[in-house]
């Protein structure tokens, strides 16, 4: 007898070692990213009615070669090198196949981090189509108490496009930063529970630069968006997700979103779902906002989000232009500027939803990369996803 539990034998560490102070660190994230609800309070959204799904192998595609900056490697080799946990590929709406790492059972939910922002923006688009949400309105129309904060003179459009002139840095690894305080307010870090997420957001001040000029990737904007859609609709984010997206989409599995001490959803990064259901969201966007024969989000909103909207100039002034030199950012979605018309959502630690309209391909990639941000690997992933789109 080795004395190890089945958990320790599978993961190489004990469950008791996964705590709020370690859950985003390797190797613990290989388990915690699939089980966030055991660590952070979460609201749950039920699956649509239907039967269980079965995994489908990618077969020979895994042995196909991809040319990357460092040389050629197989699809499967790259999936392992990029710490992929789960992958689903669709072609013209049909399932090509799935891939799962040994530590991620097929059908398991996985945190999608900042892809949550893009999902929340879909709710905003749906409410806009219903006439109850105005992107051109000032934030204070929906949240009067934002008056004394950076959002006091910002528009909802600034929030949607990350052009709020926000005095805040995404310092993921600095335990003494305002970002660490932000995470405590979401109950993601030890020491939370004394300040709510809403209270933290209302404390952030602005920079001198006018809103609307520069793309600044600041996660608090997307938590503000969650509060905005709640105020506009009178419903909680979890209720909106169920009624407006998850049930109409035909999602096969439950999803969840972490919440703070007051039940405010972490719409900037707290959602968990399966790769299959994430791919369904991408396919809905590829189809111009429709799924299962009916419309979920207005076609004009989808077109603006993934093709025509957004400021190239604001994007160029930001710090992520290296990833998509001809890109734009609109409604929490990235337009790559590639000839294929590809668009995507991205989350830290290697979460990707990539849609290639020309190839009619959707790829959902969930990962547990050790570092929150790895720019060199991101460059490889973009090349990989483009190449994969041409293989299927």
Compute the distance between CA of residue 159 and CA of residue 144 in angstroms, rounded to an integer: 15
CA–CA distance, 306 with 315 (Å, rounded to integer): 14
Contact 384, 66 (CB under 8 A): yes
Structure tokens at 279: 């791919």
Quick check: bond before 181 cis, omega within 30? no
328-330 and 361-367: which strand pairing? unpaired
Q: State how far the Cα of 53 lies from the Cα of 310, in Å rounded to an integer.
A: 37
Nearest Cα to Cα of residue 252 among 108, 388, 385: 108
From its phi and psi, is residue 193 left (phi > 0), alpha (psi between -120 and 50) or beta? left
- What is the spatial distance between Cα 389 and Cα 392, in angstroms, rounded to a whole number? 6
How buried is 208 (Cβ within 10 angstroms: 0-12 exposed, 13-18 middle, 19+ buried)? Answer: exposed
Digit-by-digit pLDDT tens for the chain (392 residues) are 467 899 999 999 999 999 999 999 999 999 999 999 999 999 999 999 886 799 999 999 999 999 998 899 999 999 999 999 999 999 999 999 999 999 999 999 999 999 999 999 999 999 999 999 999 999 999 999 999 999 999 999 999 999 999 999 998 888 888 999 999 999 999 999 999 999 999 999 999 999 999 999 999 999 999 999 999 999 999 999 999 999 999 999 999 999 999 999 999 999 999 999 999 999 999 999 999 999 999 999 999 999 999 999 999 999 999 999 999 999 999 999 999 999 999 999 999 999 999 999 999 999 999 999 999 999 999 999 999 999 99
Q: For residue 124, give the nearest of 315, 305, 346 by alpha carbon.
A: 305
389, 356 Cβ separation under 8 angstroms: yes
Alpha-carbon gap, residue 63 to 85, rounded angstroms: 18
Q: Residue 274 carries which DSSP code?
A: -
Q: Identify the structural domains of the chain with CATH numbers, from first to last.
A: 1-32 (no CATH), 90-391 (3.40.710.10)
Please answer whether residues 326 and 313 qualify as being in contact, where contact means their C-beta atoms are separated by less than 8 angstroms. no
* pLDDT at site 171: 85
**Kind and range of the H or E run holding 98:** strand 94-100
Q: Does residue 253 sit in helix, strand or coil?
A: coil
Two tokens, residue 44: 């749950």
C-alpha closest to that of 142 among 223, 234, 268:
234
Closest CA to 360 of 312, 327, 322, 392: 392
- pLDDT at site 106: 96
Is 77 a residue of the active site? Answer: no
Label the pairing between strands 351-356 and 343-347: antiparallel
d(C-alpha 63, C-alpha 66), whole Å: 9
> Under 8 Å CB-to-CB from 87, ≥6 apart: which residues?
58, 79, 98, 99, 100, 275, 363, 364, 365, 366
From the candidates 32, 42, 100, 114, give the one annotated as an active-site residue: 114
pTM of the model: 0.97
Nearest to 120 by CA among 48, 19, 220: 220
**Long-range contact list for 73-78, CB < 8 A, 24+ apart?**
75/388, 75/391, 78/380, 78/384
Picking from 218, 214, 37, the residue whose alpha carbon sits closest to that of residue 117 is 218
Residues 95, 105 contacting (CB under 8 angstroms): no
């Amino acid at each position: 007898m080795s004395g190890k539990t089945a958990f320790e034998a599978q993961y190489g560490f004990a469950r008791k070692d996964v705590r709020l102070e370690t859950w985003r660190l390797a190797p613990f994230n290989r388990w915690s990213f699939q089980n966030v609800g055991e660590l952070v309070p979460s609201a749950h959204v039920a699956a649509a009615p239907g039967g269980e799904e079965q995994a489908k192998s990618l077969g020979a595609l895994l042995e196909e070669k991809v040319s990357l900056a460092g040389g050629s490697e197989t699809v499967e080799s790259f999936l392992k090198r990029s710490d992929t946990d789960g992958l689903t590929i669709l072609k013209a709406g049909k399932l090509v196949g799935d891939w799962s790492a040994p530590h991620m059972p097929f059908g398991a939910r996985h945190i999608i981090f900042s892809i949550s922002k893009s999902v929340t923006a879909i709710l905003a688009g749906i409410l806009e189509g219903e006439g109850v949400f105005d992107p051109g309105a000032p934030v204070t129309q929906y949240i009067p108490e934002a008056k004394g904060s950076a959002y006091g003179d910002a528009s909802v459009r600034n929030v949607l496009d990350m052009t709020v002139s926000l005095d805040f840095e995404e310092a993921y690894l600095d335990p003494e930063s305002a970002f660490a305080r932000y995470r405590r307010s979401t109950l993601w870090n030890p020491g939370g529970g004394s300040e709510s997420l809403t209270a933290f957001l209302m404390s952030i001040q602005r920079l001198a630069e006018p809103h609307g000029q520069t793309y600044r990737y600041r996660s608090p904007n997307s938590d503000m968006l969650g509060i905005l859609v709640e105020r506009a609709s009178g419903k909680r984010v979890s209720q909106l997700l169920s009624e407006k997206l998850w049930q109409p989409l035909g999602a096969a599995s439950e999803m969840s979103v972490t919440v703070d001490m007051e039940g405010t959803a972490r719409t900037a990064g707290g959602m968990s779902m399966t790769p299959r259901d994430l791919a369904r969201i991408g396919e809905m966007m590829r189809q111009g906002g429709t799924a299962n024969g009916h419309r979920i989000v207005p076609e004009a909103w989808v077109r603006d989000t993934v093709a025509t909207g957004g400021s190239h100039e604001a994007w160029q002034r930001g710090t992520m232009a290296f990833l998509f030199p001809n890109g734009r950012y609109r409604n929490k979605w990235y337009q790559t500027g590639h000839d294929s018309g590809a668009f995507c959502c991205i989350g830290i630690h290697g979460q990707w939803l990539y849609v290639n309209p020309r190839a009619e391909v959707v790829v959902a990639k969930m990962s547990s990369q050790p570092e929150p941000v790895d720019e060199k690997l991101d460059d490889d992933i973009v090349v990989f996803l483009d190449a994969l789109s041409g293989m299927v």
